[in-house]
Amino acid sequence: QVQLQESGPGPVKPSETLSLTCIVSGDSLSTSSWSWIRQSPGKGLEWIGYIYSSGNTRYNPSLNNRLTIALDTSRNQFSLTLRSLTAADTAVYYCARRHRRDKSGPYFFDSWGQGTLVTVSS
């Protein structure tokens, strides 16, 4: 069974950089692609980006110039770095596995971490 666990700093200040890590167990980073998704308080879900097992990335253009997602295959974890934070970045951040049933099928997010709340406030 695949399990994901986010770890993060909790409160951060405006203009600072957010660093989050997602530890994966029960699967290898080489078999799927891996994503970050966030949810602002009381709001819906926003896709942030994902990284393929190759290390190639796809980012949401709304965050593209502030965002980096990276793999650490030696630790079986992946990370998110989001720069120049504002209050609008306050959200629960989820990591998730992006998977598909077969090589030609559409993708879905089938395993999620429990989420970590990041509050941006001075």
The residues that touch another protein, with contacts defined as CB under 8 A, are 44-47, 58, 60-62, 94, 96, 101, 105-110, 112-115
Q: How far is the CB of 43 from another protein (least distance, A)?
A: 9
Q: Nearer Cβ to another protein, position 53 or 109? A: 109
Provide the CB-side half-sphere exposure for 108 (13 A, CA): 6
CA atoms of 5 and 115, how far apart (whole Å): 8
Q: How far is the CB of 46 from another protein (least distance, A)?
A: 7
Q: Nearer Cβ to another protein, position 16 or 66? A: 66
Q: How far is the CB of 49 from another protein (least distance, A)?
A: 9
Provide the CB-side half-sphere exposure for 41 (13 A, CA): 8
Q: How far is the CB of 55 from another protein (least distance, A)?
A: 17
Q: Nearer Cβ to another protein, position 61 or 122? A: 61
Q: Is 97 exposed, middle or buried (0-12, 13-18, 19+ CB in 10 A)?
A: buried
Q: Nearer Cβ to another protein, position 34 or 94? A: 94
